[in-house]
């Protein structure tokens, strides 16, 4: 049996997302921002984040990525399942991720997007799990640093489940 224990409440997440959005709005004021949403995990976070960024010139694009099988360990192998719909050359690009765990996924994506010559390329991640870092990556906008726990909800899944939970939780295996 699995039990879900709340880790970060809806209210706490919402408050932090508003702060991040306001900060990004200030930093990219007068810029034409391309928000690149990394699917699938960050779709819920990104939907709230973009509505908290008050700038007139924003374009949104999606990058589909698969870095896991059904397990909870990063394989380091990143598969692009859906590429951007337009070039990003000379654009100010903000890559939006749900969580930076080992860092392998974001590192791969930064290398890939740099080859397309954006004007600037920065990272916004809701969560960071530094305990498991295998490669250091810059995260210019970070929601929360978390402990070494496998979290679910608010877009994050375990074997494709729990993405629709409105808060962030931790799965606990009840004995028996």
Which residues in this chain contact Mg ion in the complex, by CB under 5 A?
Answer: 41
Say which residues have a Cβ less than 8 Å from residue 71's Cβ, sequence separation at least 6: none
Nearest residue (CB) to Mg ion, 53 versus 137: 137
Among the candidate windows 56-64, 83-91, 95-103, 109-117, which touches ligand IMP by CB under 6 A? 95-103
**Residues present in the chain in total:** 176
Q: According to the binding rule CB under 6 A, does residue 95 interact with ligand IMP? A: no
User: What one-character DSSP code corresponds to residue 142?
Assistant: E
Can you name the residues that pair with 33 across neighbouring β-strands? 58, 92
Binding to ligand IMP by CB under 6 A, coded x per residue (else -) over 44-63, reads --------------------
Encode burial over 3-42: b for 16+ CB neighbours within 10 A, e otherwise.
eeeebbeeeebeeebeebbeebeebbeeeebbbbbbbbbb
Total site size for ligand IMP, rule CB under 6 A:
17
- 27 in active site: no
Q: According to the binding rule CB under 6 A, does residue 151 interact with ligand IMP? A: yes
* Catalytic position from the list 61, 101, 111, 157: 101
Nearest residue (CB) to ligand IMP, 87 versus 130: 130
End-to-end Cα spacing for the chain? 8
- Say what the alpha-carbon torsion angle 162, 166, 168, 172 is, to the nearest 10 degrees: -50
Q: According to the binding rule CB under 6 A, does residue 97 interact with ligand IMP? A: yes
Q: Which residues bind ligand IMP (CB under 6 A)?
A: 41, 67-68, 74, 97-105, 150-152, 156
């Amino acid at each position: 049996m699995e039990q879900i224990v709340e880790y970060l409440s809806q209210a706490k997440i919402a408050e932090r997302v508003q702060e991040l959005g306001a900060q990004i709005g200030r930093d990219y004021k007068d810029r034409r921002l391309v928000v690149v949403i990394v699917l699938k995990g960050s779709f819920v976070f990104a939907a709230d984040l973009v509505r908290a960024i008050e700038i007139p010139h924003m374009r949104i694009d999606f990058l589909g990525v698969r870095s896991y099988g059904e397990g909870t360990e990063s394989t380091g192998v990143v598969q692009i399942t859906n590429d951007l719909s337009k070039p990003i050359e000379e654009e100010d690009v903000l890559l939006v991720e749900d969580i930076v765990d080992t860092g392998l996924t974001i590192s791969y994506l930064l290398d890939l997007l740099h080859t397309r010559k954006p004007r600037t390329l920065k990272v916004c991640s809701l969560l960071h799990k530094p305990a498991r870092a295998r490669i250091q990556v810059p995260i210019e906008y970070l929601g929360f640093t978390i402990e070494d726990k496998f979290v679910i909800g608010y877009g994050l899944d375990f074997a494709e489940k729990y993405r629709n939970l409105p808060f962030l939780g931790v799965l606990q295996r009840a004995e028996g």
